[in-house]
């Protein structure tokens, strides 16, 4: 089930590092526009790396599988971005933002489990809260989500 650029809402990009590791960047594609001369760019949403990536790898691979990819497609050498529908992109955005700056692995596991159990409607609600707070330094939405899921 490969999505073309017009249908995919998000792209997951693998960024290799010199030390043999990689990180993942999530970008949102611009909305479709009936005016083809107007150029719009993708918008960076979030990223994940390090032990946070290792902790979330199971959920990330499950999301990719649900989007029509093989779990083995996620590797450091991948050059082509993964094309994701809105539901998958929203869920990964919540995951990446919620895990950023979490210090304890046990809390990250609680957060990952909670996000994996979210309904589509619940994930869209939290996504809107997290994006609404993206310019504020304290990010109240992220804190509320972490308290709900990880007992912070």
Range of the domain at 91: 10-150
pTM: 0.82
- Whether residue 1 is contained in a domain is answered as no
Domain count, the chain: 1
Q: Alpha helix (H) ranges present in the chain?
A: 50-66, 86-99, 105-116, 120-132, 140-150
- Whether residue 2 is contained in a domain is answered as no
For the segment 21-35, what is each residue's pLDDT rounded down to a tens digit? Answer: 999 999 998 876 656
- Whether residue 4 is contained in a domain is answered as no
Q: Is the dihedral of CA 122, 8, 142, 118 positive or negative?
A: positive
Distance CA 21, CA 77 (A): 10
Provide the pLDDT confidence category of residue 152 given band limits of 50, 70 and 90.
low
Nearest to 114 by CA among 102, 44, 8: 102
- Whether residue 145 is contained in a domain is answered as yes
Encoded tokens for 20: 């043999």
- Whether residue 74 is contained in a domain is answered as yes
For the segment 57-99, what is each residue's pLDDT rounded down to a tens digit? Answer: 999 999 999 999 998 999 999 999 999 999 999 999 999 998 9
Residue 118: CB atoms within 10 A of its CB come to: 18
Model pLDDT, residue 78 = 93
- Whether residue 5 is contained in a domain is answered as no
Cβ–Cβ < 8 Å for 112, 55? yes
- Whether residue 42 is contained in a domain is answered as yes
């Amino acid at each position: 089930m490969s999505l073309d650029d017009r249908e995919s809402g998000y792209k997951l990009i693998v960024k290799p590092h010199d030390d043999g590791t990689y990180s993942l960047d999530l970008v949102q594609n611009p909305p479709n526009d009936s005016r083809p001369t107007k150029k719009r760019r993708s918008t960076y949403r979030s990223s994940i790396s390090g032990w946070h990536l290792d902790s979330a790898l199971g959920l990330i691979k499950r999301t990719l599988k649900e989007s029509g990819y093989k779990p083995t497609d996620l590797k450091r050498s991948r050059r082509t971005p993964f094309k994701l529908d809105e539901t998958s992109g929203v869920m990964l955005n919540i995951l990446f933002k919620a895990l950023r700056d979490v210090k304890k692995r046990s809390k990250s596991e609680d957060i990952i489990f909670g996000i994996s159990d979210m309904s589509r409607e619940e994930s869209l609600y939290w996504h809107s809260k997290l994006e609404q707070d993206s310019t504020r330094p304290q990010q109240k939405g992220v804190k509320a989500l972490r308290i709900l899921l990880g007992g912070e």
